[in-house]
Chain A
């Protein structure tokens, strides 16, 4: 019985091809919209959290002054190398302390040049800032102490000066001196704020201070915390130590700040989560609209179908057989629409994700949820008008205009 009824349902679908396509289309669009939007939202969230992870998950950044933003040091003094040594010596839970001096420089390799940022730091910098090497090595202690002209370059700098060639061992000109490239950093991609993290060149601190900045000042420093140690405790200790070293009176205000990457991460993540939820809401509305479309088509076709039901009943179909047929039709159309919708959504998500440079993440729950929802609408609104028609007297159903 099931097979025969299935056959009847398939014939009815083929018979009303246009209506079938329209019904399916409603489901396809609804499902595809929801899945695509939510998938892209998830991808964006993932991309933000990945970038935050690439910054180093447990680092503290100490900057002079109270205001944030560039040039915001409001006259507060910079740090000195002695501050770095003091932090390393007096706070037990730190795993690395890296001074950072930034200087914009033009770098030249033969005919190619590029404006980038030179970072002067120490060997700790690489693990504190979460860098790994693609090839070559970092500078050694001797080079660091002597302020040798050696550098490790980021992927963007390599692309502009060397193309796809291996830069390790080459000499490049930085401002007015020649510098040996000893290492290449592994690419991190864009930062959460949209700037290019790979557009960088790392040198020993002393090299930058002597040859580029011309002062002993250290603009800021980064501190990484040992695994399992409390970030908040280290933060407290940093505040206490720096207040003491900078001779701030008991009642005086801090003239420096300790920023916590965790807080930045939390803010950014919650922002993208809100955006994802918003996109999800928009998509849910489109699913609902799609559902209403399905409902309309199903209800409108009932006039024609009432006569059809009358014919079927008159030639000996049982009420249950007619209902089963309509149910199968609705299930087949809804399931087909659901599958096509998922396929379309997958294609669109993968395409848009690569266009927007966010990762594509398959989310089975949203696929399932939207599939079930639209299938349910299709089945319910396909089934109930049919049930009403099938319960009519065959004669009344035949006369239905």
Chain B
């Protein structure tokens, strides 16, 4: 493994709006994340944690500073190049699940592989394996409407990890789930971090969810307030 970290934020700023009415969501952020880490980003609403997450997920670009992902300067990439980066390196889990409605779990999980142009047989096999890994064997042909919230989020996790990404980005993954389901989902995420070495970046405002992470970065008002290792997670 090279000494260069997987992710490096250097003085990243983000400004929304133009002219007189502007809002600075990020006011110069610096951090780096090594491959295999499990990072929780916390902070009150409006603190810039979601903005940072969008930039980390290559869904948005910084206004200033630089974002290095595997030594690639993401801020210099085109829209399509960022899409390809997402396709090959990143997996997403959202608070609202964001599964395709009226589409079976299997087809939802297959979707990223379709965009990666994997052959049909491999695509199908990989989707079955991913669903089994999240404990949904036997639920492959159910649509989201037929699944509980926890099951839907597990389908979303299967969809995120089926491509074997280097980074899994989770934006409030338990925000719509009750305590028991939240624990199941977090165990699953921790498991992918430990057993497959997938780097996890997670935004949450709940301390007991953040407690699963190895490292907790706390945002306040567009700046990093604290950045510490979380010893209890082990």
Contacts and interface: CB of A to CB of B under 8 A. Distances in A.
A15 B103 contact: yes
A267 interface: no
Interface residues of B, number: 29
B23 interface: no
Closest 7 CB pairs of A and B: A316-B87, A316-B86, A315-B112, A15-B102, A395-B59, A394-B59, A311-B98
A394 B94 CA distance: 13
Contacts of A395: 54, 59-60
B83 A319 contact: yes
Given A15-B102, A395-B60, 17 more contacts: A1-B117, A15-B100, A15-B101, A311-B98, A311-B99, A312-B115, A314-B92, A315-B86, A315-B111, A315-B159, A316-B116, A317-B87, A317-B115, A318-B83, A318-B84, A320-B80, A394-B59
Interface residues of A, number: 26
Contacts of A398: 94, 98
A205 to B, nearest CB: 83
Best-buried of A307, A310, A316 by chain B (most CB within 10 Å): A316
B79 interface: yes
Nearest to A395: B59
Nearest to A313: B83
B120 to A, nearest CB: 8
A361 B55 CA distance: 64
B114 interface: yes
Interface string A271-315: 000000000000000000000000000000000100110111111
**Chain A interface, DSSP helix/strand/loop, else mixed:** helix
A7 B117 contact: no
A83 B170 CA distance: 107
A1 B79 CA distance: 19
Given A313-B83, A316-B115, A317-B83, A307 B98 contact: yes
Contacts of B101: 15, 304
A394 B98 CA distance: 12
A227 interface: no
A11 B107 contact: yes
A304 B79 CA distance: 23
Contacts of B205: none
A316 B102 contact: no
B89 to A, nearest CB: 9
Given A314-B59, A314-B98, A395-B59, A319 B86 contact: no
A7 B114 contact: yes
Contacts of A312: 111, 115
18 contacts: A4-B114, A4-B117, A11-B103, A310-B98, A311-B99, A313-B83, A315-B87, A315-B159, A316-B88, A316-B90, A316-B112, A316-B115, A317-B87, A319-B80, A319-B83, A393-B59, A395-B54, A398-B94
Contact of B114 (A8, A304, A394): A8
A313 B112 CA distance: 10
Interface in B87-140: 87-88, 90-92, 94, 98-103, 107, 111-112, 114-117
Contacts of A15: 100-103
Best-buried of B59, B86, B101 by chain A (most CB within 10 Å): B59
A310 B57 CA distance: 14
A12 to B, nearest CB: 9
B102 A16 contact: yes
Contact of B92 (A8, A16, A315, A321): A315
Interface string A3-33: 0100110010001100000000000000000
A132 B171 CA distance: 89
Contacts of B90: 316
Interface string A361-401: 00000000000000000000000000000000111001000
Contacts of A310: 98
Given A315-B115, A317-B115, A395-B54, A308 B100 contact: yes
Contacts of B59: 314, 393-395
Nearest to A307: B98
Contacts of A394: 59
Contacts of B92: 314-315
Interface string B15-51: 0000000000000000000000000000000000000
A321 B111 CA distance: 13
A321 B117 CA distance: 12
A310 B36 CA distance: 28
B84 A316 contact: yes
Interface in A178-236: none
B117 A318 contact: no
Given A315-B87, A395-B54, A321 B115 contact: yes
Contacts of A317: 83, 87, 115
A81 B103 CA distance: 90
A310 B86 CA distance: 13
A316 B87 CA distance: 4
Interface string B48-83: 000000100101100000000000000000011001
Interface in A312-334: 312-321
B164 to A, nearest CB: 13
Contacts of B103: 11, 15
A311 B92 CA distance: 10
A395 to B, nearest CB: 5
